[in-house]
Amino acid sequence: MPPRWRTTTAATVSAFGVIVGAAGIEHGIGEVLQGDVAPRAVVIESWPESEVFRVLGGEPAMTIVPSLLVTGMLAIAASLVFLVCAVTLVARRAIGPILISLSIGMLLVGAGFGPPLLGLVLGATATRVRTPPSWIRTRLPAGVRAGLARLWPWCFAAALIAWLAVLPGIVLFDRLARVDDPALVVPVLTFTALGLLLATILSAFARDSRDTGDLHP
């Protein structure tokens, strides 16, 4: 029998943790390229002069660091640590709080708003990597749990495609065919991707509840 931490929940956290880390690193690179200048406000743009990121409004972020160069370096470091932890430490009992703490750090040092938000969702999910929430078993009928468990591969694939459609998909599409109304397209795609991720997490809990039986942490 494989170790009980090798769950679909763990796989979900690791896969989307890579997306979080990569997106945060990309924010940091834009800030590093702006050089050792002071930000004009707490809220900044990671790529303010880039036509490539026009559709994303220059990729807003925030920082409490008085240098964009240092902000970018810290964003890259925090995002890289998040990625590594999500992939290699997903079995650890403390992985949830670790990812949550790193997400807060990413938010404060220029890794954008989307990546830290997604990181917080994954951190909360990671607290149940070893054992699914009890309400999955006590509140959901067996038939519903079984149906959700079967849906996990489909939800996972759809969520992965949706997040890749957000980034780099939106940027690539804008380069090929200009997006006339980014304020409409970007939120719709983002909320769709977030909804699919939540469905993936729920189905992962249901699948692990089926597979782990009565195991406890």
CA dist., res. 211 & res. 164, Å (int): 29
| pTM (two decimals) | 0.91
> Each residue of 92-139: pLDDT tens digit?
889 999 999 999 999 999 999 999 999 999 999 999 998 899 999 888
Can you say how many angstroms the Cα of residue 202 is from the centroid of all Cα atoms in its chain? 16
- Beta bridge partners of residue 43, listed in sequence order: 62
Q: Where are the domains of the chain?
A: 8-212
CA dist., res. 76 & res. 25, Å (int): 4
Residue 134 — left, alpha, or beta (φ > 0 → left; ψ -120 to 50 → alpha)?
alpha
CA dist., res. 47 & res. 190, Å (int): 19
Residue with tokens 């790529």: 47
> Each residue of 31-62: pLDDT tens digit?
999 999 999 999 999 999 888 898 888 999 99
